[in-house]
Amino acid sequence: MCSPVCSMEHLWMYAAAVLLLLWLLVWLWRDSLVISDIGENYVFVTGCDSGFGNLLCKRLDRRGFRVLAGCLTEKGADNLRRATGPKLKTILLDVTDSSSIRRAMEWTKKEVGDRGLWGLVNNAGRSLPMGPTEWMRMEDFHSTLRVNMMGVIEMTMTFLPLLKKGRGRVVNVASVLGRVAANGGGYCISKFAVESFSDCLRRDIHYFGIKVSIIEPGFFKTAVTSLEPIERELHRLWNQLSPEVRDSYGEKYFDRYIKVQRLIMNMLCDPDLSKVTNCMEHALTAQYPRTRYSAGWDAKFAWIPLSYAPACLLDFFLRTVLPRPAQSV
């Protein structure tokens, strides 16, 4: 028979289990709440020529959002317009060009009027060149950082007044490689930067009713994971090395490096892009969007070695001690 001390222990365990279950149920219910006025909301998406951005625009258009799609090329914009309804509008946008960003913002300002902007999805990105760090030249870092890091920051800063007006949301596309530094080159650096920029931004602008979510896709079959350009870029990097550096690695290393890339991309890349766009849609339509969305089974693994709890505690601490701005909601 159980002693009174033993039954008290059991009682605590049952109470903890019930509380945990209740917390989970409340979380699931809260997570399922959806905003009501979708048809009146404007969402600006960058990098809509292909991949996640392209699919997201089509899906938001089907759901009734007023989609403003930034495309890098005229061809991409034409194809997207042909595949969607009359509510979707496109504009040419290069996120590495300040004047292009400003033009897009002025155009958006006219489109949204007094309503302001509900969503900004910073999706545009490039992955190449990726490879061993010593093989890179400074321009190889810059070319990726300009799009994936400075592009995200400049887009957000420029569109912030419209988002403030609309009490909207910023949805930044990072990556599992913004959690785990698996490749040399600018890509991982840029995605770690998107994570930290988004975390600071969230804390700093929550007073104005703006929410910031981060999307962390694993490996998906799109242009950024296409093997042919990855290999082409690796050959370019290899050919630009000085003979001393090339000798220090050797041809065998180079061949094996390429084989490993093939193996990883063939094994990991998931063709179902909707796993990512579902997360983006949730971030735009949920009453309580999540801070982070990890999309794909490989992205979930990145959570294991990471200490997320201290980041939450730091966030809570800073929000408690920092002053509130005059116009906070």
Binding range to ligand NAP, per CB under 6 A, among 20-28, 45-53, 163-171, 229-237: 45-53
Choose among 216, 102, 89, 215: nearest CA to 157.
102
**Closest CA relative to residue 296, chosen from 220, 185, 184:** 220
**Residue 42 binds ligand NAP, judged by CB under 6 A:** no
Does residue 72 interact with ligand NAP by CB under 6 A?
Answer: yes
Binding mask 104-143 for ligand NAP (x = CB under 6 A): -------------------xxxxx----------------
Between helix 51-63 and helix 74-82 the angle, nearest 10°, is: 30
**Rounded CA separation 194/45 (Å):** 16
Task: Name which position in 42, 141, 192, 219 contacts ligand NAP (CB under 6 A).
Answer: 219
Residue among 93, 128, 171, 230 that touches ligand NAP (CB under 6 A): 93
Of 100 and 115, the one with the shorter C-beta distance to ligand NAP is: 100
The answer to the question of residue 57 lying near ligand NAP (CB under 6 A) is: no
Contacts of 171 (CB under 8 A, 6+ apart): 119, 120, 121, 122, 212, 213, 215, 280, 283, 284
Of the candidate residues 41, 175, 261, 294, the single one contacting ligand NAP (CB under 6 A): 175
The minimum distance between CB 156 and ligand NAP, in angstroms, equals: 14
Please count the residues of this chain forming the interface with ligand NAP, following the rule CB under 6 A: 29
Q: Which is nearer to ligand NAP, 68 or 238 (CB)?
A: 68
CA distance 109 to 91: 13
Alpha-carbon distance values, 172 to 44, 149, 326 (Å): 12, 10, 27
DSSP state of 180: S
| Residue 30 vs 102, nearer CB to ligand NAP | 102
Are 213 and 219 within 8 A, CB to CB? no
Nearest to 273 by CA among 214, 230, 219, 213: 219
Q: Among the candidate windows 48-56, 153-161, 242-250, 253-261, which touches ligand NAP by CB under 6 A?
A: 48-56
Determine whether 87 is exposed, middle or buried from the number of CB atoms within 10 Å of its CB (0-12, 13-18, 19+): middle
Measured at CB, which residue is nearest to ligand NAP?
51
Check binding of 147 to ligand NAP (CB under 6 A): yes
Q: Is 204 exposed, middle or buried (0-12, 13-18, 19+ CB in 10 A)?
A: middle
Annotated catalytic residue within 14, 42, 187, 293: 187
Active site residue 187: yes
Contact by Cβ (8 Å): 133, 155 = no
Q: Which residues pair with 211 in a beta bridge?
A: 169
Burial 262-287 (b: 16+ CB within 10 A, else e): eebbeebbbeebebbbebbbbbbbbe
Residue 186, interface with ligand NAP (CB under 6 A)? no
**In this chain, which stretch among 89-97, 250-258, 284-292, 313-321 interacts with ligand NAP, using CB under 6 A?**
89-97
Per-position x/- string for 255-294, each x denoting binding to ligand NAP as judged by CB under 6 A, each - no binding: ----------------------------------------
Q: Show which residues are catalytic.
A: 187
Residues at the interface with ligand NAP (CB under 6 A): 46-47, 49-53, 72-73, 76, 93-96, 123-127, 147, 173, 175, 217, 219-220, 222-225
